[in-house]
């Protein structure tokens, strides 16, 4: 009997299916789409000193352009005056008229010299007017009264321009680093522009000019220009808002 039970047990073990356990670890799927961080673009540093130098050069270009225009205008006037003098054989002006015009020019130049200060260096307008008066005297001595009167008138115009600069300077409020132009620049606004009390965006806005308003510029500090408008109102305006008159 015991042998029979043992035999049945062995048969049961032999017939029971044997399940093997898969011990191979499951590997997690890899993320093939990795997020790539783009390299940081270098930020260009602003060179304030270079910008200010470029601004000063632009103002110098405006100044030189105004000087060229002024000299060309005077050359054209001189040529026309010569033609008239030759055509009319000095009948354009009398000796008395030329002498009177020269006297007025001398008074205007002396007033400009006094306004600048007798001990101060002569202004460009004073030097220009004095040179014109020397030419006028030479023409007067040669009895070319028309030429003398014309040159005396030009000398008076130079003195008037100098007086305008003196009125604009306001010596008590002169700014550090302020540089005068060789002669007043006839400019205009290129857009709606605020005119400020001083050379900087932090100064109070005095008034606003519309596009195309004519102004006269006298000096500058960095990118700010001292100006007067047609109503003779003073102030400072940023260089990017002005250009030569068309």
Residues 149 and 233 in one domain: no
Residues 158 and 59 in one domain: yes
Residues 58 and 157 in one domain: yes
Residue 6's pLDDT is what?
Answer: 52
Last residue of a domain, one of 169, 192, 222: 169
Residues 227 and 137 in one domain: no
Residue 162's pLDDT is what?
Answer: 79
Last residue of a domain, one of 107, 139, 169: 169
Residues 126 and 214 in one domain: no
Query: How many C-beta atoms surround the C-beta of residue 40 within 10 A?
Result: 6
Model-level pTM? Answer: 0.45
Closest CA to 155 of 118, 95, 108, 93: 108
Residues 133 and 206 in one domain: no
Confirm whether 124 is domain-assigned. yes
Residue 38's pLDDT is what?
Answer: 59
Residue 87's pLDDT is what?
Answer: 43
The arrangement of strands across the sheet holding 205-209 comes to 205-209, 193-196, 234-238, 224-229, 214-221, 179-189, 242-244
| Count of domains for the chain | 2
Residues 59 and 126 in one domain: yes
Residues 125 and 149 in one domain: yes
Confirm whether 26 is domain-assigned. no
Last residue of a domain, one of 117, 144, 169: 169
Confirm whether 15 is domain-assigned. no
Give the residue ranges of DSSP H helices in the chain.
2-15, 48-88, 95-116, 124-141, 145-169
Residue 128 half-sphere exposure toward CB, CA atoms < 13 A: 19
Question: For every one of its 246 residues, what pLDDT tens digit does the chain have, with 9 covering 90 and above?
Answer: 555 555 555 555 455 554 454 555 555 444 444 545 556 655 555 668 888 888 888 888 888 878 877 887 787 677 666 645 644 555 556 888 889 999 999 998 888 888 766 666 777 888 888 999 999 899 899 888 888 888 899 999 888 887 776 665 544 467 888 888 877 888 999 999 999 999 999 999 999 999 999 998 888 998 999 998 888 889 999 999 999 887
Residues 65 and 144 in one domain: yes
Confirm whether 35 is domain-assigned. no
Confirm whether 98 is domain-assigned. yes
Kindly report the CATH number assigned to the domain that includes residue 225: 2.30.30.40
Give the residue ranges of DSSP H helices in 142-216.
145-169
Residue 137's pLDDT is what?
Answer: 92
- DSSP result, 4-33: HHHHHHHHHHHHSPPPPP--PPPPPPP--S
Confirm whether 22 is domain-assigned. no
User: What is the residue range of 217's domain?
Assistant: 171-244
Confirm whether 164 is domain-assigned. yes
């Amino acid at each position: 009997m015991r042998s029979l039970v043992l035999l049945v047990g062995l048969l049961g073990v032999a017939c029971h299916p044997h399940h093997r356990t898969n011990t191979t670890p499951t590997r997690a799927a890899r993320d093939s789409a990795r997020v790539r961080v783009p390299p940081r673009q270098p930020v260009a540093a602003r060179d304030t000193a270079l910008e200010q130098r470029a601004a000063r050069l632009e103002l110098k270009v405006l100044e030189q352009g105004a000087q060229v225009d002024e000299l060309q205008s005077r050359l054209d006037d001189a040529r026309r005056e010569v033609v008239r003098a030759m055509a009319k054989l000095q009948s354009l002006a009398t000796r008395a008229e030329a002498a009177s015009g020269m006297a007025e020019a001398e008074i205007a130049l002396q007033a400009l010299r006094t306004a600048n200060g007798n001990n101060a260096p002569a202004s460009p307008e004073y030097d220009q007017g004095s040179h014109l008066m020397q030419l006028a005297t030479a023409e007067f001595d040669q009895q070319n009264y028309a030429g003398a009167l014309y040159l005396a008138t030009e000398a008076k115009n130079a003195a008037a321009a100098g007086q305008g600069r003196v009125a604009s300077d306001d010596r008590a409020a002169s700014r550090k680093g302020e540089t005068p132009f060789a002669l007043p620049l006839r400019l205009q606004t290129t857009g709606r522009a605020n005119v400020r009390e001083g050379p900087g965006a932090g100064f109070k806005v005095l008034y606003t000019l519309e596009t195309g308003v004519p102004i006269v510029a006298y000096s500058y500090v960095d990118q700010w220009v001292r100006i007067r408008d047609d109503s003779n109102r003073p102030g400072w305006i940023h260089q990017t808002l002005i250009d030569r008159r068309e």
